[in-house]
Structure 1
Amino acid sequence: MSVEAYCMKCKEKKVMKDPVAGETKNGKPITKGKCPDCGSTICRIGSMK
């Protein structure tokens, strides 16, 4: 499973490490993971495909 998201620290799209599906406070699907380079949390709105 490779999910891409934009890393705010690296300023480019990265493939998430350990992506996890979840929900926002208002019930929308979100995918959270870690940046493979800097280790910060990166998020993508939408479910994992």
Structure 2
Amino acid sequence: MSIEAYCVKCKAKKVMLNPVAGTTKNGKPLLKGTCPDCKTTLCRIGAVKESK
């Protein structure tokens, strides 16, 4: 499953490498991964809908 997130350093949407699920301090779901180009941490807040 490929998850896209916005990279602030590259200023473009990138496919996340090694996404890991977690939660924020107030309990909202998030995914953390790395940018394939610049290795910056990417975060995607909110539940990700899986496509069938």
Matches within 5 A, 1:1-49: 1-48=1-48, 49=50
The alignment of Structure 1 onto Structure 2 pairs a total of residues equal to 49
Larger Rg over CA atoms: 2
Q: Which runs of 4+ in 1 moved over 2 A?
A: none
RMSD (CA atoms): 0.9
Percent identity (aligned):
69
Give, in whole Å, the separation in 2 of the partners of 1:6 and 1:23: 18
* Unmatched runs of 5 consecutive residues or more in structure 1: none
Higher relative contact order (CA 8 A, sep 6+): 1
Give, in whole Å, the separation in 2 of the partners of 1:21 and 1:3: 12
Q: What's the TM-score, normalizing by structure 1?
A: 0.93
* Unmatched runs of 5 consecutive residues or more in structure 2: none
Q: What's the TM-score, normalizing by structure 2?
A: 0.88
SS in 2 for 1:39: coil
